Structure 1
Amino acid sequence: MTQVRDFRPRQYVLAAGGTGGHMVPAAALAAELMKRGHRVALVSDARGVRFPGLFEGVQTHVIPAGRFAGGPLGWAKAARLMIEGRAIARDLYRDLRPAAVIGFGGYPAFPALAAAFAAGIPTAVHEQNAVLGRVNRLVAARVDAIATSYAQTERMKSRHRAKAHLIGNPVRESVLAWRARPYPVPEEDGIFRVLVTGGSQGASVLSQVVPDGLALLPVAFRRRLQVTHQARIEDIDAVREKYASLDIAADLATYLPDLPEALGWSHLVIARAGASTIAELTAAGRPAILVPLPSATDDHQTANAREITAAGGARTIPQSAFTPPELAKQMQKLGLDPEALGNAATRARSCGAPHAVTDLADLVESLDAPRARVMVGATITKKAFA
């Protein structure tokens, strides 16, 4: 995208729902914009503003927003909350006077963007998944730009593709730092580090299957394991006891504040296929066994996993086929062949977008820059995926 940088400090508002998939890229953009001298405010729900360590130095605002579910009564309640949230956002914009409002999906983004449309403020959305999300589909016709993370984004109407820009999914600097370091190929008889994570909300199926799957590995391999496992609070005690009964070294937590460090030292990751997980795997270059969440809206996690799997950086197992024997089989294919692991790490890395956050910040800055308007039909160059 050709543009002339405008270095005036400005105010930006980022609007995102309260899950890690929306909040992590928003936090990465906030950090980049502040690094460039801009001011940033976050609009979210009560969950979003509570993510520890993500939005330090960012003023945060909670606005009401409802999910359109639960039949006519639920829809009516959601509509009332959306209208209330839109009014609060408009009042906020009168004080902040933002140069642009950027949505990252999730229901709290909708009233924030609706208020921006009414006030004539430039807008953009970022889509983390390989399927355009519901809120982003609702606002696609009105926003000035759509930033995508995948070359093929499903559920995007053809008439909206002219304002789509292939950016990638921003990740935290602490994750990106691992890209410059070589993959830690495990020694034949050395420790084999496994990271198990279900994303910001955990995944019970991983807690149910992974310990029993690791128990089926050859004894010599099993004794080498060092597992870091993120589990739901209702599962964690039972999972801890299971690992102890199997004599498998394991550290368990309901939340991993040091996830980038755990990811960087991992030889293999077993995970859901959420957008942030895929972005971090490909940024750092770590091989994975992926189990997409079958109930994800529009089955977007299966779509997220396709690129890294086709490249050879991951193996995808549908949840219906994710059993202890299947996991043990895939673990042995990868874990007992250091060369295969190293190749998978390289292929995962090839799918990464290390410049996503700077490219997204460039796009955001261009939204209100008179000398560098967003170019209709422009796309970010391949440097984003170098």
Structure 2
Amino acid sequence: MVTIYYRSSWNPCYIHAPVGGHWSSHPMSAHPERRKWLTITIEDIKEFVFTNGNEKWDNPSPGQNYKITGPGAYAVFHGKIIEIKPAKRPVLLISDLDNTLIGNYQPTIEALARFNDYWIQSHYFTGSKLVYNTGRSLEEFLALYEEGYQILDPDLLVTAVGSTVYTLNFDTGAYELRTDYYDLFNQDHWDSHIVDRMVQQEFPWLILPDNCHIYPFKIWFTAKTKDVNKYLKDLKVFLRNPENIVTNGKIIKAKTIVSGRYDMRYIDITPLEGGKGLGVTYAKRLFGFDDKDTIAVGDSGNDIGMMKGDHWSIIVANYEDDLIEWLRKKERKNILIAEHMFGDAVQECIEKIHNTY
């Protein structure tokens, strides 16, 4: 038997193949977990095409058919056949996006395509879960599709440096807020608007960004690197509030998360328990993965929170200095520094991790 997975918005959609000695069309069904993916299990075939049953056809090239070598499972993604070869075990992959899986020049686009092929081949249909844990807002994440990035739909989306969490509605295609995530925050010591007013008044070197900078459990600014080097310690002490000063009825307790490179930095301010690490905790609970099968991937200082704990982590070869400086302070055998950059680092290190078992 042959199982075929096919990504298409056609409804209905048919596979057209020589079954029982003659070419015929057979309806495909929606995959129960992968939106816009269709599937069919059919008797052994060696070649096929797809059709919507109304004069539209998908061939690899005009007059040609998709061809496979024999029984098994195959995915057809952007005109390419990918043979499904499950990994040794399912994993929970929690990855940053910018400068980790995606970039804006050709080698990074090619690396993303290789990651997609690998994930589809070994994980996408065999029990693994994919989580994007990004500094982007939901709107900024959705803009990636509009800009042409061919990213796979995640099983969970953590946005704004661990501030909010969404899942994709299978029927509507909309990302829906998971409000139960907010229960993980200590709201007694946080109010975004109070924190915003406090730090703007006390630290004028913080620069307001052009777009939205206030989220339910995060505010953010930019700053010149020279100012960060000079004043960051003062900001950290102010936010820790060791004297428990009450402001507008709240004893604010917060922390900073610094990322970026060169002359400018990003300054994220969150509750003490906030940051990308909280997204890791939530994803593990939601999907039921333990540390040995949970893998975080990142490149920058705001990924440090993802890499604390006993689960595996991958640092891509194109890392920022802040991340490596943190790692050098304490040896962590569960963190791998990849030889490859961007999406290529994922396959490299997952295979290394699986070889330890």
Structure 1 length normalisation: TM-score?
0.26
Q: Relative to total residues, which structure has the larger strand share, 1 or 2?
A: 2
Q: Relative to total residues, which structure has the larger helix share, 1 or 2?
A: 1
Larger RCO (CA under 8 A, 6+ residues apart): 1
Structure 2 length normalisation: TM-score?
0.28
